[in-house]
């Protein structure tokens, strides 16, 4: 019987070696390639055509989230990372990840089971990721909130006078992306991202990311403070 081939993408060589050691203990699984970033993962996936890709989120250069939409077109992807922020989990799943495991929340047997199940369309989630899915499910029971928020955001884009590019970047900021992730997503330099953010903050009369997000999403107004 053919063994399940796996590609591991993680910038930490110790984690790659540890994962490979666990996977290679199984007779029906083999690690055929290892990558240190998203770009190398994409190149090796095209070369080796693995059955499953284990993908970290934060890697130098092209990170996991940036590489994910390209990788899922070639093979099932299981996120395997320390990142457990709700926005990251949500984005990974929306981009096509077949599961999300957070380091420290799974055993070796659970990892092997997930690797075997993901190609068959059976997703696996550790508690941190599962809690995000539960929150999303609860939020979806109140769709009118999303409609109201979208309307508010459109109103704010007019009020604050953001350009279409600035609107795009502000949405990415609100999703929790770092400057590096925004640069990769928009195919621009981090310096250009910083320039856009400076202009956005000036237009939103905000000094911090959280303040800008609050005003962009309509939960705060310029010049309004306190409880009044």
Q: How many residues in the chain?
A: 228
Which DSSP string corresponds to the chain? -PPEEEEEE-S-HHHHHHHHHHHHTSTTEEEEEEESSHHHHHHHHHHH--SEEEE-S--SSS-HHHHHHHHTTTS-EEEEES---HHHHHHHHHTT-S-EEETTS--HHHHHHHHHHGGGT---B-HHHHHHHHHHHHHHT-HHHHHHHHHHHHHHHHHHT--HHHHHHHHHHHTT--HHHHHHHHT--HHHHHHHHHHHHHHTT-SSHHHHHHHHTTS--TT--TT-
93-145 confidence digits (pLDDT tens): 888 999 999 999 889 999 999 999 999 888 888 888 888 877 777 766 555 55
Q: Answer whether 207's CB lies under 8 Å from 167's CB.
A: no
Average pLDDT for runs of 10 along the chain of length 228:
90 94 94 95 96 94 91 95 87 90 91 93 87 75 53 61 83 86 84 92 89 77 42
pLDDT given for residue 127 in this prediction: 87
Q: What is the mean pLDDT of the chain?
A: 85
81-93 confidence digits (pLDDT tens): 998 888 888 889 8
Instruction: Please indicate, yes or no, whether the overall pTM of this predicted structure exceeds 0.75.
Output: no
């Amino acid at each position: 019987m053919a063994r399940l081939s796996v590609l591991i993408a993680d910038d930490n060589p110790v984690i790659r070696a540890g994962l490979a050691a666990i996977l290679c203990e199984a007779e029906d699984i083999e690690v055929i390639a290892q990558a240190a970033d998203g770009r190398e993962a994409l190149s090796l996936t095209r070369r080796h055509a693995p059955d499953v890709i284990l993908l970290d989120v934060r890697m130098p250069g092209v990170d996991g989230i940036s590489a994910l939409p390209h990788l899922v077109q070639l093979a099932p992807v299981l996120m395997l990372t320390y990142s457990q922020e709700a926005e990251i989990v949500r984005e990974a799943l929306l981009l096509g990840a077949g599961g999300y495991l957070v380091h420290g929340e799974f055993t070796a047997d659970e990892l092997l089971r997930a690797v075997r199940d993901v190609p068959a369309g059976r997703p696996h989630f550790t508690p941190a990721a599962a809690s995000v899915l539960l929150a999303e499910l609860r939020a979806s029971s109140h769709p009118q909130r999303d409609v109201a928020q979208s309307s508010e955001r459109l109103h704010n884009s007019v009020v604050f006078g953001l350009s279409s590019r600035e609107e795009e970047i502000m949405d990415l900021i609100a999703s929790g992306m770092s400057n590096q992730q925004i640069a990769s997503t928009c195919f621009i330099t981090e310096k250009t991202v910083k320039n856009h953010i400076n202009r956005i903050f000036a237009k939103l009369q905000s000094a911090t990311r959280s303040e800008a997000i609050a005003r962009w999403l309509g939960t705060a107004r310029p010049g309004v403070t306190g409880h009044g």
